[in-house]
Amino acid sequence: MTHVRKQPFLLLTLFLLCSTGLHSYAQNLKEFFANTSTPLTYLGVDFSLAKIQGEAATATEIKEKFEPINSVIITEAKKYDIPGALKRSTPVINDLDAVNKLNGNANVAGMKTDNVSDLGKVTPEDVAKHVKTYNLSGKKGIGLVFVVDGMSKTDKEASMYAVLLDMGTKKVLNAEKLTGKAKGFGFRNYWAYPIYKVLETISTDRYKDWAKAAAAAPEEKVAEAPKVDTVKPKAKKGKKAV
């Protein structure tokens, strides 16, 4: 049976560089999981950090397929059920402009390799820095993006970070690296299939753990103003009468 491998769950603190932002982001994520009507924007599949192993297609042919892969996930929404995987009760907004631009500018020749050992080098810190480069045009709310780490023809699978981010600050709120098996006829279908498998795993397995972790996150604390002692001024002594 086709399976999806997952790496240890990464939540919040891995990507937040200072404690002052922790509670604010935790609150946003907590609200997202607690309320299924909280809006979600789907940003697409970002291939720009990926290594592609054992692929016979040329760099030009590969680059030409990035946008069709992203398009098929939108046009075949029943199969690639993003609202279902993320338990949304309202329609998901699709906005692929930022990711399509990065994919279009990717150095695909440098992404190709013959060695499986070249895959899996993208770290959570790399992802946190990378999403800062997205041109989100002042968008607010929570976005979902799949940042692909590696695509292996030998292992017939692709690994990627499933990332929830605050689009206003471009801070990663939650990310987990998941791996999905690849199959299908043609480059587009073959490498779109791992997205389907990862969405399936999020829906049936990972979502409930993400929601549980978000619910257990600390509440936002508002710092109290320092207390100031009120001291009554001493009354001025009057001049003695002559």
**DSSP labels, 3-18:** --EEPPPEESTTT-SS
Q: What pLDDT is recorded for position 238?
A: 53
Q: Which two tokens stand for residue 94?
A: 């699709």
Q: Which two tokens stand for residue 231?
A: 């001291």
The 10s digit of each residue's pLDDT in 60-109 is 999 999 999 999 999 999 999 999 999 999 999 999 999 999 999 999 99
Rounded CA gap, 109 and 119, in Å? 15
Instruction: Look at the pTM and tell me if it is higher than 0.85.
Output: no
26-35, 38-47, 128-137, 176-185: which has the minimum mean pLDDT? Answer: 26-35
Residues 193-216 pLDDT 10s = 999 999 999 999 999 999 999 999
